[in-house]
Amino acid sequence: MMTPQSHTSSYYAASINQTSDYPQLEGKVRADVCVVGAGFTGISTALHLAERGYNVHIVEANKVGWGASGRNGGQMIGGISGDSKMASTLGSEGERRLWDMGWAGHEIIRERVKTYNIQCDLKSGYVDVAIKPRHIRDLQAYYEQLQKFDFPHAYKMLSKHETQDLLGTEAYIGALRNNGNGHLHPLNLCIGEATAAVSLGATIYENSPVLEIKRGDKATVVTAKGSVSADFVVLAGNAYHFLEPKLRGILFPVNSFIIGSEPLSEALINEINPQDLAVCDPNYILEYFRLSADKRLLFGGRFTYFGSDPEVIKKNLIPRLLKIYPQLANTKFDFGWGGTIGVTANRVPQMGKLAPNIIYSQGYSGHGVNVTHLAGQILADTVGGTLERFDVFANIKPTWIPGQHTFRNQMVALGMMYYKLIDRL
């Protein structure tokens, strides 16, 4: 049985605007829709539903934003993971539709930040950097897509010299700068959206792990002390979901870790990131970084580790950061934390139904800040009876990953080895 936990040792948890403090679920309650999981998928869905007048109840095992949504790199990246595979299933118009869907999450975030006055340090500006010549070719192809679809924000290919100048490092040989992407404080966004949903009548329960979901005309979500009976249930537990074996078995849990430095001096900032951009490399075992609002460097990467000791995380990531920025050799690191990402075999996010009135969305494969917000809108549409965009995802059959339940850690370790090899090519 899951024991409710408080937030992890992240910079985000230490710089929260307001602590969420919702009650545990007790007794029997009734809802139009019950959402399981209060990350971006769950909260985003609930806010869309509350805006449309539904009586929605959200049941969270721990705290609002406790999972990946409150721990991530905060990089707001356009596009849907695996979209090239999806385009082939959609015919000639599919490419444009997918392109638009790939940017819809950004618009939802920007609009909510404005409408509900959410303080989450939202900024524009992002660079995809290249390490090898094949990365430049990929970025050039992406640049041509931006042109083809008349991308409305500023974007530019950067030469080796321009990239090195912009980022104060010799680690990269070129880049694509895109001001349509950006970065934000994810936990403050998630908590702000939850507050907005509650202001519109939604009910949130924290510290309430769901133990069972009973099928029926009305589905019933059961916790240790209570239950919610609802016309619709939305499952939004993603990589932290262990309840429904069918969902667990189609998702790879991949751990990613982040370190947070002390606030950097103005001189250092001017040298390494004067334009306050989010930066991401193209490897599978990728590295990503950006500055926080109080000018800490938040640097993330993946390695095989299943614990949460900040010192172990710092020990693994600091040497990697110093390869990019030797000028930070004397910088202190105040934070180290990690979280689990839901990755699918074909990289395409998974949406589907476990019963006519039980739907789910998961597996954004590292592109979740944006796509969870799109997913929330699609799931809310599905509750309302419009399945057009839901079916785009639901029609793609997910791959069952054998051994997922029994050999979880070994599989993650094997996956890391495989992707490290691919990155070396």
**Binding residues for ligand FAD restricted to 297-326, rule: CB under 6 A:** 300
Output 331 or 340, the one with its CB closest to ligand FAD: 340
Using CB under 6 A as the binding rule, whether residue 209 contacts ligand FAD is answered as yes
The two beta strands, 174-183 and 155-158, are antiparallel
**Binding residues for ligand FAD restricted to 41-70, rule: CB under 6 A:** 41-42, 59-62, 66-69
The closest of 162, 148, 156 to 179, measured between CA atoms, is: 156
Residue 301 Cβ, how far from ligand FAD at the closest point, in Å? 9
Terminal C-alpha separation, the chain: 43
Q: How many residues bind ligand FAD (CB under 6 A)?
A: 45
Stretch that binds ligand FAD, among 17-25, 259-267, 333-341, 415-423 (CB under 6 A): 333-341
**Binding residues for ligand FAD restricted to 185-204, rule: CB under 6 A:** none
Stretch that binds ligand FAD, among 21-29, 86-94, 148-156, 361-369 (CB under 6 A): 361-369
The closest of 174, 242, 225 to 27, measured between CA atoms, is: 225
Output 266 or 309, the one with its CB closest to ligand FAD: 309
Output 177 or 183, the one with its CB closest to ligand FAD: 183
Using CB atoms within 10 Å of the CB of residue 380, give its burial: 0 to 12 exposed, 13 to 18 middle, 19+ buried: buried
260, 301, 339, 398: residue in contact with ligand FAD (rule CB under 6 A): 339
Output 61 or 358, the one with its CB closest to ligand FAD: 61
Q: Please compute Rg for the chain using Cα positions.
A: 21
**Per-residue string for binding with ligand FAD, 245-284, x by CB under 6 A?**
-----------x-x--------------------------
Beta bridge partners of 58: 35, 204
Asked if 187 and 13 count as a contact pair (C-beta separation under 8 A), the reply is yes
**Binding residues for ligand FAD restricted to 369-408, rule: CB under 6 A:** 369-370, 372
Residue 205 Cβ, how far from ligand FAD at the closest point, in Å? 9
40, 126, 232, 289: residue in contact with ligand FAD (rule CB under 6 A): 40
Residue 169 Cβ, how far from ligand FAD at the closest point, in Å? 19
The closest of 364, 244, 50, 214 to 58, measured between CA atoms, is: 50
Q: What phi and psi, each to the nearest 5 degrees, are found at residue 305?
A: -160, 140
Residue 402 Cβ, how far from ligand FAD at the closest point, in Å? 23
Q: Identify the H or E element spanning 245.
A: helix 245-248
Residue 379 Cβ, how far from ligand FAD at the closest point, in Å? 11
Output 167 or 371, the one with its CB closest to ligand FAD: 371
Cα–Cα distance, 304 to 16 (Å, whole number): 29
Q: What is the torsional sign of CA 67, 242, 41, 105?
A: positive
Cα–Cα distance, 377 to 362 (Å, whole number): 14
Output 162 or 192, the one with its CB closest to ligand FAD: 192
Output 72 or 377, the one with its CB closest to ligand FAD: 72
CB-based burial, 289-328: b 16+ in 10 Å, e otherwise: bbbbeebbbbbbbbbbbeeeebeebbebbbeebeebbeeb
Asked if 82 and 346 count as a contact pair (C-beta separation under 8 A), the reply is yes
174, 237, 301, 398: residue in contact with ligand FAD (rule CB under 6 A): 237
Using CB under 6 A as the binding rule, whether residue 368 contacts ligand FAD is answered as yes
Residue type, 201: G
Helices H, strands E: what count in the chain? 13, 17
13, 204, 210, 378: residue in contact with ligand FAD (rule CB under 6 A): 210
Residue 268 Cβ, how far from ligand FAD at the closest point, in Å? 22
Residue of closest CB approach to ligand FAD: 368
7, 57, 71, 123: residue in contact with ligand FAD (rule CB under 6 A): 71
Using CB under 6 A as the binding rule, whether residue 12 contacts ligand FAD is answered as no
Cα–Cα distance, 387 to 243 (Å, whole number): 25
CB-based burial, 224-246: b 16+ in 10 Å, e otherwise: eebbbbbbbbbbbbbbbbebeee
75, 261, 377, 382: residue in contact with ligand FAD (rule CB under 6 A): 75
What is the contact surface with ligand FAD in residues (CB under 6 A)? 36-42, 59-62, 66-69, 71-75, 77, 209-210, 236-241, 243, 256, 258, 288, 300, 338-341, 364, 366-370, 372
